[in-house]
Amino acid sequence: MSDQALIAIVSVFTAGITIAIGSVGPALGEGRGLAEALRAIAQQPDEAGRITRTLFVGLAMVESTAIYCFVVSMILLFANPFWTGGQGQ
Q: Which CATH number fits domain 3-79: 1.10.260.40, 3.20.20.10, 3.40.50.970, 1.20.20.10?
A: 1.20.20.10
pLDDT digits (tens, 9 = 90+) for 31-68: 999 999 999 999 999 999 999 999 999 999 989 999 99
In the predicted model, is pLDDT for residue 24 greater than 70?
yes
Determine the pLDDT at residue 86: 47
User: Taking the model in full, what pTM does it have?
Assistant: 0.73
* CA 84 centroid distance within chain: 25
